[in-house]
C-alpha cells in the first residue's frame, strides 16, 4: 500500500501542469503535442463519418467568426479549425488541440452572429482550458493507460450486434464546473471582438427551450445529451455578462443580418446524402430505395442505421441497415445471426418487390432478455440491406404482423422519383396580421412543429410574430 501511494504521488507530481485559461495547477498526463495529435486523429474520423456541410460560403463564415475568437483566446498559437458538420442534430463540440465543430442543425436556432460567437467561444473555452485532455488524464491516472483507439472509437453494440461508430471523445459530457468555465470564457472571447456579451445568455435560453421540446437525437447526440441543462446555466452566466459589459461597454454587435443572409436556403433536417424520414417512410434518394415502417412508430435516421420504435409502452423496434459481406443471402443471414447469438426458427428465399431476399425468424437474447426477431436480407443492385423487427418473446407474436408488413414495403426508387426528393430548407417570410406560429406552420405544409418555428425565431408559442416582421420558416424541397 505504501509503495502504491508513492507511485501515485509521483505520478501526480510528474503530471501537474498550469491550466492556460485559469492559471491553476491541474493533473495533466498529456503534452500539448499529444493533445494536438489526438485531436487530429479524431478530426479525420469526424470528417469521414459525419461529413462537412457542402456550402463553402457558410464554412468560410463560421471559420472567420471562430478564428476571431481563437485569436482572443489563451492559446492563440494553436492551429485552430472551425467547421460545420452535415448533421441535423442541435449540437456543437470540440476536440483537443483546437478542432471545433457546429452541426448544421444548430445554426437555424441561433438568432444572431453574436450567438454563433457564443457557441464557438464556449467550445474554444473547452480547448483553452484543456477540459478533454484533463478528463483523459484523470481517467488514465485512476484506471490505467487507455489506448488512443479506445477513446476515439468506444465500442457500441447496436441491435443484432452490429458495431457502430462511436464518438466518445467528441461527445464527452464535461462536468458542470467545466461547462460554466467555458460559458465564462466564451463571453470573454466574444466581447473582446466586439460582440454583445448577453448573446451567451440568449443562446442558453434557446437551447433550454429546445431541450424541453425535443430531448431526442438523430444520429449525433444533441446538446441536451452532451451538456448540462442549459436553463440552469443562464443565471450563472449573468455575472460574466455584467463584468464583460462593464469592461467593454461598446461591445454590442449582434450582426443578425449577416447570419440571416448565410442561413437563407440551408438544409433543415435530413439531407439527400443521408436519406429522408417522411412520416413513417424512409427514402434514400442517393442509394435509391425506400421502406415504410408501421404507422405511428417513431422513425429516427442516424449515420449507421434507421430505427423505428413502437411507443413508450412497447419494447418492439425495427431497424434498417446496409450490411457488408458477399456471397449468398442465406449464408450472410446465417453467419451474422449466429455471430449475434440468434438461433433460426425458420427461413426461406423469396422476392420483395422484385428484389432477391432471404427472410427468417430467429430467437435469442439481448441484455439477458429473451427476444424474437424477424429479419430480411435484401439484395438491391450491388448492396445488401437488412430490415429487421425485434421484440421481447412475450410481445413478439403481437408485433410480428407489423414487422412482416414493413419488410414487404422495401422497394427501389426510380431515377425520376429519387430526383424529385429534395431536402427541406430554411426560408424567410413576412408575418401577416393575425398570424400565429401554428397557422404559419400549417400554411407551409406542417413540415416542422409550431413550437420549433417559434424557437427558430427566438419566441415562445405564446408570443406570435408582429405584422410585417421578417421571420424564419421551413419550406419543402
Give the integer Cα–Cα distance in Å for 407 and 318.
Answer: 10
> Kind and range of the H or E element at 467?
none
Residue 77: burial class (beta carbons within 10 Å; 0-12, 13-18, 19+): exposed
Q: Which residue has the cell 419543402?
A: 476
Q: Which residue has the cell 457546429?
A: 102
Which residue ranges of the chain lie beneath pLDDT 50? 1-14, 137, 139-169, 215-219
Q: Are 306 and 275 in contact (CB under 8 A)?
A: yes
Q: Determine the pLDDT at residue 324.
A: 82
Nearest partner of 371 among 340, 329, 333, 404, judged by Cα? 340
Q: Determine the pLDDT at residue 31.
A: 77
In CATH terms, are 272-419 and 423-475 the same topology?
no
Q: Determine the pLDDT at residue 385.
A: 96
Q: Determine the pLDDT at residue 318.
A: 94
Q: Where are the domains of the chain?
A: 17-268, 272-419, 423-475
Which overall architecture, per CATH, does domain 272-419 show? Answer: 3-Layer(aba) Sandwich (3.40)
Q: Determine the pLDDT at residue 49.
A: 84
Q: Determine the pLDDT at residue 302.
A: 80
Q: Determine the pLDDT at residue 286.
A: 96
Q: How many helices (H) and strands (E) does the chain have?
A: 16, 21
**Cα-Cα-Cα-Cα dihedral of 254, 256, 262, 265, to 10°?**
150
Going along 15-77, which residue ranges are E strands?
Answer: 16-18, 25-27
Nearest partner of 252 among 411, 114, 92, judged by Cα? 114
Give the integer Cα–Cα distance in Å for 228 and 131.
Answer: 15
| Partners of 171 in the β-ladder | none
Q: Determine the pLDDT at residue 166.
A: 36
Give the integer Cα–Cα distance in Å for 393 and 370.
Answer: 6
| Partners of 373 in the β-ladder | 362, 390
What pLDDT digit, counting tens, does each position of 9-53 carry? 333 334 555 565 665 655 555 677 888 888 899 899 889 888 999
Q: How many CA atoms lie within 13 A of 411 on its CB side?
A: 13
Q: Determine the pLDDT at residue 237.
A: 87
Handedness of CA 54, 55, 59, 62 (dihedral sign): negative
Q: Determine the pLDDT at residue 300.
A: 87
Fold of 423-475: Membrane-bound Lytic Murein Transglycosylase D; Chain A (3.10.350)
Q: Determine the pLDDT at residue 184.
A: 92
Give the integer Cα–Cα distance in Å for 82 and 62.
Answer: 7
Amino acid at each position: 500500500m505504501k509503495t502504491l501511494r508513492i507511485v501515485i504521488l509521483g505520478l501526480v507530481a510528474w503530471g501537474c501542469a498550469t491550466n492556460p485559461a485559469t492559471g491553476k495547477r491541474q493533473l495533466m498526463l498529456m503534452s500539448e503535442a499529444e493533445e494536438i495529435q489526438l485531436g487530429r486523429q479524431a478530426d479525420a474520423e469526424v470528417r469521414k463519418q459525419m461529413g462537412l456541410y457542402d456550402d463553402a460560403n457558410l464554412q468560410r463564415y463560421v471559420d472567420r467568426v471562430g478564428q476571431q475568437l481563437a485569436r482572443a483566446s489563451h492559446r492563440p498559437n494553436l492551429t485552430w479549425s472551425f467547421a460545420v458538420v452535415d448533421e441535423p442534430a442541435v449540437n456543437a463540440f470540440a476536440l483537443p488541440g483546437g478542432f471545433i465543430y457546429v452541426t448544421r442543425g444548430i445554426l437555424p436556432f441561433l438568432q444572431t452572429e453574436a450567438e454563433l460567437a457564443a457557441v464557438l467561444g464556449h467550445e474554444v473555452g473547452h480547448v483553452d482550458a484543456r477540459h478533454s485532455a484533463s478528463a483523459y488524464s484523470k481517467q488514465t491516472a485512476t484506471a490505467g493507460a487507455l489506448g488512443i483507439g479506445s477513446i476515439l472509437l468506444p465500442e457500441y453494440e447496436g441491435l443484432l450486434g452490429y458495431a457502430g461508430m462511436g464518438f466518445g471523445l467528441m461527445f464527452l459530457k464535461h462536468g458542470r464546473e467545466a461547462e460554466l468555465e467555458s460559458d465564462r470564457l466564451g463571453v470573454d472571447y466574444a466581447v473582446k471582438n466586439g460582440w454583445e456579451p448577453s448573446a451567451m445568455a440568449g443562446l442558453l435560453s434557446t437551447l433550454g427551450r429546445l431541450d424541453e421540446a425535443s430531448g431526442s437525437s438523430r444520429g449525433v447526440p444533441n446538446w441536451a445529451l452532451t451538456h448540462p441543462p442549459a436553463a440552469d446555466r443562464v443565471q450563472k452566466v449573468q455575472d460574466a455578462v455584467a463584468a464583460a459589459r462593464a469592461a467593454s461597454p461598446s461591445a454590442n454587435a449582434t450582426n443578425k443580418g449577416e447570419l440571416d443572409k448565410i442561413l437563407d436556403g440551408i438544409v433543415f433536417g435530413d439531407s439527400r446524402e443521408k436519406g429522408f424520414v417522411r412520416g413513417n417512410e424512409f427514402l434514400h434518394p442517393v442509394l435509391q430505395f425506400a421502406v415504410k415502417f408501421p404507422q405511428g412508430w417513431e422513425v429516427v435516421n442516424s449515420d449507421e442505421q434507421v430505427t423505428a420504435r413502437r411507443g413508450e409502452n412497447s419494447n418492439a423496434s425495427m431497424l434498417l441497415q446496409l450490411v457488408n459481406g458477399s456471397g449468398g443471402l442465406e449464408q450472410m443471414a446465417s453467419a451474422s445471426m449466429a455471430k449475434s447469438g440468434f438461433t433460426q426458427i425458420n427461413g426461406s428465399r423469396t422476392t420483395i418487390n422484385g428484389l432477391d431476399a432471404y427472410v427468417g425468424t430467429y430467437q435469442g437474447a439481448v441484455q439477458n432478455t429473451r427476444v424474437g426477431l424477424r429479419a430480411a436480407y435484401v439484395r438491391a443492385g450491388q448492396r445488401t440491406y437488412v430490415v429487421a423487427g425485434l421484440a421481447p418473446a412475450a410481445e413478439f407474436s403481437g408485433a410480428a404482423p407489423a414487422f412482416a408488413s414493413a419488410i414487404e414495403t422495401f422497394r427501389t426508387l426510380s431515377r425520376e422519383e429519387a430526383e424529385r426528393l429534395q431536402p427541406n430548407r430554411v426560408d424567410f417570410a413576412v408575418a401577416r396580421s393575425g398570424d400565429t406560429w401554428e397557422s404559419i406552420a400549417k400554411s407551409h405544409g406542417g413540415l416542422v412543429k409550431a413550437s420549433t418555428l417559434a424557437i427558430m425565431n427566438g419566441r415562445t408559442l405564446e408570443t406570435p410574430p408582429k405584422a410585417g416582421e421578417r421571420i424564419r420558416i421551413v419550406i419543402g424541397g
